[in-house]
């Protein structure tokens, strides 16, 4: 898993390994106002951002969790797992 960093001050963009990125300071202007998003490279070569609970690859549709771990398609999940992830399908949204 890697991080994509974006400086709010000077719009500098760079990437770091997730494990090494202890310091979120812009190497260009040393601002700490840095936006970061986690991403992984899918087996198909596409970049998948892991900002949500489940994240789908635009290239091949593979699902990843927030930690960049590959998930089986929801159709193969246990009912309980699907429930935890997506909640009750017939839930009344007014409550
Ligand atoms: Zn900067
Ligand atoms: Zn993919």
Answer yes or no: is 74 within a domain. Answer: yes
Render each residue's pLDDT in the chain as its tens digit; 95 residues.
999 999 999 999 999 888 876 668 999 999 999 998 999 999 999 999 998 999 999 999 999 999 999 998 878 878 888 787 777 765 555 55
Give me the pLDDT at residue 63, please. 94
Ligand nearest to the CA of 8: 1
CA of 79 to the centre of ligand 2 (A): 25
Domain span holding position 24: 2-86
Number of domains the chain contains: 1
CA of 19 to the centre of ligand 1 (A): 21
DSSP H or E segment with residue 38: strand 34-41
Answer yes or no: is 94 within a domain. Answer: no
Q: What share of the chain is helix, strand, coil (3-state, %, to 5)?
A: 10, 30, 55
pTM: 0.68
Which is it for strands 34-41 and 54-56: parallel, antiparallel or unpaired?
Answer: unpaired
Answer yes or no: is 93 within a domain. Answer: no
Ligand nearest to the CA of 43: 2
Give me the pLDDT at residue 44, please. 97
90 DSSP 8-state letter: T
């Amino acid at each position: 898993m890697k991080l994509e960093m974006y400086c709010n001050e000077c719009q500098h963009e760079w990437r770091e390994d997730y494990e090494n990125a202890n310091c979120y300071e812009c190497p260009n202007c040393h601002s700490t106002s840095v936006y970061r998003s986690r991403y992984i490279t899918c087996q198909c070569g596409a970049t998948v951002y892991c900002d949500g609970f489940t994240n789908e690859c635009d290239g091949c549709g593979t699902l990843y969790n927030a930690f960049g771990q590959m998930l089986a398609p929801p159709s193969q999940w246990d009912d309980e797992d699907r429930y935890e992830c997506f909640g009750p399908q017939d839930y009344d949204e007014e409550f």
